[in-house]
A and B are shown apart, each in its own frame.
Chain A
């Protein structure tokens, strides 16, 4: 097995996703810019998952045929994408009703994911959670709340920066995002790589039974050996180093952004309406 590596463009996608997510959350950035950044973050997220799902290093000789994708996989991917879309949208500066709608949509999508995984109890539990989250919406219907208004609220943004944003510290949130993404993805990559190497009979064998042995016990000899998938290539020995390097680069970018954001924020603190006018104009 040759040593695979994480391609640089996946790291770039990861960094661009974090940056666009940070811009999407920032209150003092122009509304349209934020909206496009939010849409871009979804595009980057989709590309990252497509890269991990379709494959990283195998040359694509035939075009992907959507009709040949199994319905179960298609439903799983669709529900996961809807869930992540609603989660990203929930983090934006939208109204309270829109947040609750996003939360309900994300919960329903997660319930669908669990239903596709054939875990009905968890799916029903998530439906109960969605129903509980919908109670405040119905409780406030007497205050002239209509679904049309709620739909319009999805695109209403709050432009008032809070204290920690006014001091320019919100760029640290972007750094924290990237750091968390790197740590979690790196940890997952390590866990998957460990599993794959154990399956391949590498020197990293542990005392636990291998996947093929477990599959033999579970499925009566029908071992799911198969070829090493492209996910193996995404979770390689160099992946952790590359991802950590991406974290360093992003933190450097974040500190540069913090220096640029400071003068604007100081004008916010002085409550100068003339200085705020270009920011609030939509």
Chain B
């Protein structure tokens, strides 16, 4: 295992941690904006997992099929949720100093 593999391996674990953070954020989300952002975070984690898995295992099939499918899903998810979240004002929290 060379140095690059070590780095990609760590990156793979980091991507999985990002997936976990997305799921945790999705569970504790309180409105649609938070759900939008955390589900985007989750999808980005999945995307990075595919990409880094492709780099780590030297598998172009995994890279192209998985990563591009998730990327398309992420762009559609961002675009579809855009109008809804401009109008959402439920998360404008003000905290007393």
Contacts and interface: CB of A to CB of B under 8 A. Distances in A.
Contact of B23 (A45, A99, A180, A229): A180
Nearest to A53: B10
B58 A218 contact: yes
A80 B18 CA distance: 10
Contacts of A158: 93, 95
Nearest to A96: B91
17 contacts: A21-B24, A25-B24, A73-B3, A73-B7, A76-B7, A87-B41, A93-B93, A100-B33, A133-B37, A135-B82, A139-B86, A140-B86, A158-B93, A173-B27, A176-B24, A218-B58, A231-B10
A159 interface: yes
Contacts of A106: 41, 44
Interface of A: 21, 25, 45, 49, 52-53, 70, 73, 76-77, 80, 83-84, 87-88, 90-91, 93, 95-96, 99-100, 103, 106-107, 110, 113-114, 117, 119, 121-122, 125-126, 128-129, 132-133, 135-136, 139-140, 156-160, 162, 170, 173, 176-177, 180-181, 184-185, 188, 192, 195-196, 199, 211, 214-215, 218, 224, 226-232, 280, 282
A90 to B, nearest CB: 6
Contacts of A226: 1-2
Interface residues of B, number: 57
Contact of B20 (A53, A160, A180): A180
A228 to B, nearest CB: 7
Interface in B30-75: 30, 33-34, 37-38, 40-41, 44, 47-48, 51-52, 55, 57-58, 63, 67-68, 71, 74-75
A84 B68 CA distance: 22
A195 to B, nearest CB: 8
A95 B89 CA distance: 11
A129 B40 contact: yes
B44 A45 contact: no
A52 B13 contact: yes
